Structure 1
Amino acid sequence: MSAPTLSPATVPPVTEHPDFLLLDSDLSAEDIALRDRIRAFGQEHILPIINEYWERAEFPMEVLEPLADLGIVGTFIQGYGCPGLSRQAAGIVARELGRIDGSVNTFFGVHSNLGMGAIYTLGNEEQRQRWLPDMAKLKKIGAFALTEPNHGSDSVALETSARREGDHWVLNGHKRWIGNGHAADVIVVFARDEADGNVKAFVVEKNEDGTYPEGYQPEVITGKVGKRAILQGDIVIDNLRVPVENRLENCESFAGVNRVLSATRGGASWEAVGHGMAAFELASQYALSREQFGAPIAGYQLVQEKLATMLSDVTQMQLLCTRMAQLQERGEFTGSMAAMIKMVTSRKALAACREARDMFGGNGLLLENHIARHLTDMEVVSTYEGTDSIQALLVGREITGISAFTTKKR
């Protein structure tokens, strides 16, 4: 018989999900409605088109209007047209978007959590009013320019510089892996003040004609194997002049960057749960429909053991993230806790995606069956917000009290 494929119409419906310990039954009616609204959005607007955009390495701009209509842009931000979601609800957003597609989730996270979050956390009231309402409606797209070619995990050592010249700041440097950085309307750029050596935050805006100011030179990074439908920029900053009123007032050192990252911490872990859920759903459905040696492969012991392990891992990830949201709400969540949860969820979600891809056999290589997209996207999730090795060292430092990070050249 011919091998079955899972078209957008036959992927698991929005009412079906692996929640073995019934964790979602504890959600409020509002959070359940939020979950189902995002699932319906994914089924209607993303799954029918995402593979073609993913293959072409283009972002589906057509989803922005229905995405804005979901009422989730700005997640945890209070006011300015944002929903002021709880940590649990914000986690559900990342989980459900990840379950649909990683590229769309990254676009949303960069814009809503990092870009808007930086302005909300570090800006003054005038700056919030100037930018956040339009960003909440997705009339303006945001970006967060922190990492550099030589500074990813050690972004605290960023080299992009800023110096005050009259009514402007002049920025010079190089940023890389900046989601939306090639096309965003509002980009928060972090640079080191030459006068005091401290890191400051600056908002770069497009001109009225849609071009960038002179000195902001973005180029799309090509050739990616994952998250292909979200574009990242490599940005050369050459004597870029930024008005003094565009410096975010409440960022006086790298501690400001940490405030933003702390406020958004955990998003990658929730997304990993979404990818793991999708992998389990796709694999279990395929196992029931795929016949080999005269019977569905779901009836074979090896396949059932794989499915049981995948479901167990997904459940463990769900439990960790649920606990994370509880601790965040209580103000008891720490950086080392975040590192452990990111490490565990990334490892287990990536393992689930690899197992599901293997269960599909050759059909798992086809985009039409969706699992290849989740697998390669999870490779990306395992890298951003800190690689697996970095997370392990952070947990190791917490356990032993000894830092294994070093700046010594060997």
Structure 2
Amino acid sequence: MSRGPRTGVDPDRLAALDGLFTAEQRQIAAAVRRLCDAEITPKVPLWFEAGELPDPRGLMRQFGELGLLGMHLSGYGCAGLPATDYGLACRELEACDSGIRSMVSVQGSLAMYAIWRFGSEEQKQQWLPGMATGETIGCFGLTEADHGSDPAGMQTSARRDGQGEQADWVLNGSKMWITNGSIADVAVVWAQTTDSPRDIRGFLVPASTPGFTAGEIAHKLSLRASVTAELVLQDVRLPADAVLPAATGLAGPLSCLTEARYGIAWGAMGSARSSLHAALDYARSREQFGKPIGGFQLTQAKLADMLAEYVKGMLLAVHLGRLKDAGEITTEQVSLGKLNNVREALQIARTARTILGANGISLEYPVIRHAANLESVLTYEGTVEMHTLILGQALTGQNAFR
């Protein structure tokens, strides 16, 4: 009687996940993986260890050449591909490193999406083509040092200076934890207007504007192969047409966050897949007590649990992608994807670390790097608590945020 394969099966093949995608979608994923394998994956452990990204502008141009920047947007040099295709790209980027996926996500799903969704035609023509090629880099300034989960309390202000509709805007304030901030050519900054009626508006701030500075944040122990900055605005004077005309109130920036969270639900599964593969390879080759540790029941139980959560997370991501492509996705459904998939990816990385033992903390393997990165992904663009309350309100009809 056959006991089944002794060499093991790839997790995606075991669950027949490739069958969920078209040949074109598999080609897109393979193209992103080839770029990462050739240009990033061999180097990213060194970047992580050094806490730097040596040539972010060159890397962004490579992503632009592959058509990854704003790939789910249409027009202005963007590829206009389905949301599922974008999700597969996010999975491959984060299988390489969360910081690399964040770089692309902030460019396309936050900065570019804000301009594409809320900008004037002139603003779109001015910024989006260069951002799609990676020649122009954008960032998204919403979070403040004292206002993370509650952006409505933001202190960054925008006041009118002059008469009539052509009056300038003057911005003052600061933003924290801004990916791409210190390399950006343009920042999408959200501010509280001081004139009546007071409201939250979005502004396009060229990095060369007097009074605007961006300093890189050091001493991070997570997302180390990523550019993270603090933005400071001191009497930054902007023309009247710097405001995003179609965004008024918190609905604007929150819709951008929903767009980015969708990509995170896919990206987290990349970290999970990489961690699972590392654990499988190690379990098949590492011998203790006379045989590979993959032959022991406790190790197999860990691997089976990791596989189950990875497959469930992928099925959820695919479901969300199809809902998004059909124009039917809701904010609550995206919160479900972000909450579940990041939480389970982090648990997979932690479990993989235990299978690798002491080697699990070495950057020779990707596991500890994924685990450290996912600690940030778990809380950025909505903490576990915030997404839990979003789902709780949807289920009960009761607002428990305050």
Structure 2 SS opposite 1:203: strand
Q: Contact 2:60/2:135 (CA < 8 Å) preserved in 1?
A: no
- The offset of 1:165, in angstroms, is 1.5
Distance 2:190 2:268 in 1: 27
Distance 1:369 1:124 in 2: 46
Q: Contact 1:268/1:385 (CA < 8 Å) preserved in 2?
A: no
- 1:98 and 2:99 correspond: no
- The offset of 1:181, in angstroms, is 1.1
- 1:191 counterpart letter in structure 2: A
Name the residue aligned to 1:5: none
- The offset of 1:23, in angstroms, is 2.6
Q: Which of 290, 296, 300 is residue 296 of structure 2 equivalent to?
A: 300
Q: Which of 79, 82, 86 is residue 83 of structure 1 equivalent to?
A: 79
Q: Which of 21, 26, 32 is residue 20 of structure 2 equivalent to?
A: 26
Structure 1 SS opposite 2:12: coil
Give the total of aligned pairs: 387
- 2:158 counterpart letter in structure 1: A
Could you list the structure 1 runs, at least 4 aligned residues long, displaced by more than 6 angstroms after superposition. none
Q: Which of 118, 122, 126 is residue 122 of structure 2 equivalent to?
A: 126
- Superposed, 1:215-364 pairs within 5 Å as 215-364=211-360
Distance 1:17 1:131 in 2: 41
- The offset of 1:312, in angstroms, is 0.5
User: Where in structure 2 are there 5+ consecutive unaligned residues?
Assistant: 1-8
Structure 2 SS opposite 1:399: helix
Q: Contact 2:261/2:335 (CA < 8 Å) preserved in 1?
A: no
- 1:78 counterpart letter in structure 2: S
Q: Contact 1:273/1:345 (CA < 8 Å) preserved in 2?
A: yes
For the aligned residue pairs, the C-alpha RMSD in angstroms reads 1.6
C-alpha distance after superposition, 1:171-205 (max 9, x if no partner): 01121111111221111001111112111111111
- The offset of 1:16, in angstroms, is 5.9
C-alpha distance after superposition, 1:205-233 (max 9, x if no partner): 133xxxxx322132222221111111211
Distance 2:13 2:377 in 1: 22
C-alpha distance after superposition, 1:80-137 (max 9, x if no partner): 1111121111111111111111111011111121111111111111110100111111
Q: Contact 1:110/1:144 (CA < 8 Å) preserved in 2?
A: yes
Range with bigger deviation, 84-93 or 323-332: 323-332
Structure 2 SS opposite 1:143: strand
- The offset of 1:76, in angstroms, is 1.3
- 1:204 counterpart letter in structure 2: V
TM-score (normalised: structure 1): 0.91
Distance 1:51 1:390 in 2: 32
Range with bigger deviation, 89-98 or 61-70: 61-70
Range with bigger deviation, 64-73 or 31-40: 64-73
- 1:56 and 2:57 correspond: no
TM-score (normalised: structure 2): 0.93
- 2:116 counterpart letter in structure 1: Y
Name the residue aligned to 2:66: 70
- 2:263 counterpart letter in structure 1: G
Name the residue aligned to 1:187: 187
Range with bigger deviation, 75-84 or 248-257: 248-257
User: Where in structure 1 are there 5+ consecutive unaligned residues?
Assistant: 1-14, 208-212
Distance 1:90 1:375 in 2: 23
Q: Which of 110, 113, 117 is residue 113 of structure 2 equivalent to?
A: 117
Name the residue aligned to 1:47: 41
Q: Contact 2:207/2:213 (CA < 8 Å) preserved in 1?
A: no
- The offset of 1:267, in angstroms, is 1.4
Distance 2:13 2:190 in 1: 40
